[in-house]
Amino acid sequence: MYKITKEAIEQAHARIQPYIHRTPVLTNQSINEIAGTELFFKCENLQKIGAFKIRGGMNAALSLTPEKLKNGIATHSSGNHAQAIAYAAKVLGTKAYIVMPSTSPSVKVNAVKGYGAEITFCEPNQAAREAAVQKIIDETGAEFIHPYDDFRVITGQATCVKELLEEVPDLRAVVAPVGGGGLLSGTCLGAHYINPAIEVYAGEPEGAADAILSFKSGKVEKAPYVKTIADGLMTTLSEQTLSIIREHLKDIFLVSDEEIKAALKLVYERMKIVVEPSCVVPLAAVLKNKELFAGKKTGIILSGGNVDLTRFSEWFQ
Amino acid sequence: MYKITKEAIEQAHARIQPYIHRTPVLTNQSINEIAGTELFFKCENLQKIGAFKIRGGMNAALSLTPEKLKNGIATHSSGNHAQAIAYAAKVLGTKAYIVMPSTSPSVKVNAVKGYGAEITFCEPNQAAREAAVQKIIDETGAEFIHPYDDFRVITGQATCVKELLEEVPDLRAVVAPVGGGGLLSGTCLGAHYINPAIEVYAGEPEGAADAILSFKSGKVEKAPYVKTIADGLMTTLSEQTLSIIREHLKDIFLVSDEEIKAALKLVYERMKIVVEPSCVVPLAAVLKNKELFAGKKTGIILSGGNVDLTRFSEWFQ
């Protein structure tokens, strides 16, 4: 069985490096003044495919034997993981089979199509997604790569905090967003193996508040309701991601959509970069908990920048 | 009299370096594929104050004697030059007097106020601007720093292409936007002194097509009409900027607002950075004249990223 160790993360990093960008770490004086601390933004919005997901997807694909890889790779996702799998298949010369809900925005469908993936549409529910991807696997022998409930994927996501800490070794805290927990559990493990003293925190939307409940109860819980502009963070944790998070995460902070919008405006206006609403949830969490982060050099993982530009009018009013 | 020489540009660069960012040069594979050439984007949207204007403003302010500087610096501008002068005064510990048209967007007024400048509002026409700034100079002894018709400013703007060519020495062409011609004439001189073989081009909006007329006739001409989303490029050349441009510029290309919007969408979607419409006019010009740039490594100066986020809904539909 695949175990996530310091060596596994280092091997994953060496494996995926030729295919990914080493994304820049940006700082911004006026945001530091507002936050009352020094923030270091790891810009995965500037990553290949516009999001960190390429790290996990690429590591999983590169972990397959050449024979297995020949049959292709498959997943169900409406978001950045779909693009990651499609891109990985393209550069590795194999097929990608992507199951997407019929309600997926056309900008995401087109991006996946652009990488040459074969798309199968399904009803927008979990059972339909899983059935559709199972059918494909049975027919093609393709390897299923789950968006987050997969140790190869989590190990790949851990390479992001590894790069951040190589660039800014004296960080005392790191904050990541939490959806299914792939990035967050990878960040927990990556930080832990490099420097166990680093405090890892998560930001979660109030309108998708499952992880905070699961973190407290120790069981995978559902969100009381799901409604947020942070549409990349609507999924629930898995047993595996929860168990890593329970062991290594310091705390989870909830933020409202209004707080997310305010952080989004700050990043667009001050940093001049395009990010997804999901991406600024950690910044919103820091701005809401200033006393905790005061004087503590803090890394923030900006997870992605794939946005539908026509939605700007909802976000910036 | 201040002359623009290779040494003057080098001195300006050394002088302003402690106060500015060395902005990154970004590349983007999918835009290269669309353009059919290799493009190198010098990201002045990530510059201090969000635009290249800090280079010229800071160079002019730092060229003053300490006695003269004590009286403050003054300008009329509704745009990024106002922020540059305000910021320069702040970091140099003197006063900034900024004359702004009463119609200036509040986001720009607030940015200038944020740097502690004293703002005087005037009627939105050239005569009112000049009268208001003259009155301030008479009263305070402040030094007037014109947005572009000033050799100290032009020399400062020339440092941008200097950095770009230090990073990518084998560029064969550079494209800049043209408004009053400060950035463009600085780019012409900077490129010429480093490598006279580099072809410098300009992009200009169809709805502010004065520079192309002046470039052809040799006299400062007015645009037939002024209406464009590239609101940073509405000014006309001066005798001085025209004379430099006539000597060193290869050509000017006009682009429509639709072409500017298409280039803007590309930069937001693919590069994930926030830029002003004025800023993508050179990219729009390259995409409209692909055969000329094919196979020619080309630098593009992205001039600024100060946008009113509420205008996104007009740009991205």
A179 shares its domain with A292: yes
Residue B1 clears pLDDT 60, i.e. is over it:
no
CA torsion angle A172 A177 A183 A187 (round to 10): 10
B133 shares its domain with B225: no
Residue B95, domain member (yes or no)? yes
B102 shares its domain with B232: no
B162 shares its domain with B90: no
B199 shares its domain with B108: no
A251 shares its domain with A115: no
- Average pLDDT of every residue of chain B: 96
Q: Which of A101-105, A296-300, B88-92, B290-294 has the lowest mean pLDDT?
A: A101-105
Residue A235 clears pLDDT 80, i.e. is over it:
yes
Query: Catalytic residue at B290?
Result: no
User: Given B45, B310, B313, which is nearest A272 (Cβ)?
Assistant: B45
A139 shares its domain with A175: no
Q: Label residue A107 by pLDDT band (50, 70, 90).
A: confident
Structural domain for A13, as ranges: 6-51+150-315
Alpha-carbon span A77 to A231, nearest angstrom:
12
pTM comes to: 0.93
Residue A231, domain member (yes or no)? yes
Q: Label residue A317 by pLDDT band (50, 70, 90).
A: confident
Of A128, A144, A160, which closes a domain? A144
Q: Give the 3-state secondary structure of residue B100.
A: strand
Q: What is the mean pLDDT of residues A246-269?
A: 98
Q: Which of A36-50, A95-109, A147-161, B128-142 has the lowest mean pLDDT?
A: A95-109
Residue A1, domain member (yes or no)? no
Residue B193 clears pLDDT 60, i.e. is over it:
yes
Q: Which of B272, B273, B280 to mutate to test the interface with A (most CBs of A within 10 A)?
A: B272
Give the total number of structural domains in chain B: 2
For residue A217, give the amino acid letter: S
B275 interaction partners in chain A (CB closer than 8 Å): 272
Check residue A2 and give its pLDDT: 58
How do residues B143-169 score in pLDDT, each as one tens digit?
999 999 999 999 999 999 999 999 999
Residue B307, domain member (yes or no)? yes
B177 shares its domain with B196: yes
Residue A140, domain member (yes or no)? yes
Check residue B104 and give its pLDDT: 84
The CATH number covering residue B307 comes to: 3.40.50.1100
How do residues B222-255 score in pLDDT, each as one tens digit?
999 999 999 999 999 999 999 999 999 999 999 9
* Binary contact (B274, A265; C-beta < 8 A): no
Nearest chain B residue to A307, by CA: B269
B196 shares its domain with B308: yes
Residue B118, domain member (yes or no)? yes
Residues 50-69 of A with CB under 8 A from B: 50
Residue B1, domain member (yes or no)? no
Of B123, B144, B165, which closes a domain? B144
A154 shares its domain with A252: yes
Contacts of the segment A13-19: beta carbons below 8 A, 24+ positions apart: A13/A159, A13/A162, A13/A163, A15/A58, A15/A59, A15/A62, A15/A63, A16/A54, A16/A55, A16/A58, A16/A59, A16/A62, A16/A156, A16/A159, A19/A48, A19/A54, A19/A58, A19/A88, A19/A91
Q: Given B78, B185, B238, B278, which residue is catalytic?
A: B78
A187 shares its domain with A248: yes
Of A113, A144, A175, which closes a domain? A144
Q: What is the mean pLDDT of residues A141-155?
A: 97
Q: Which of A82-86, A253-257, B306-310 has the lowest mean pLDDT?
A: B306-310
Q: Enter the ipTM.
A: 0.91
Residue B283, domain member (yes or no)? yes
Q: Which of A122-131, A167-176, A206-215 has the lowest mean pLDDT?
A: A122-131
Check residue B78 and give its pLDDT: 79
CB-based contact, B135 to chain A, within 8 Å: no
B37 shares its domain with B106: no
Residue A1 clears pLDDT 60, i.e. is over it:
no
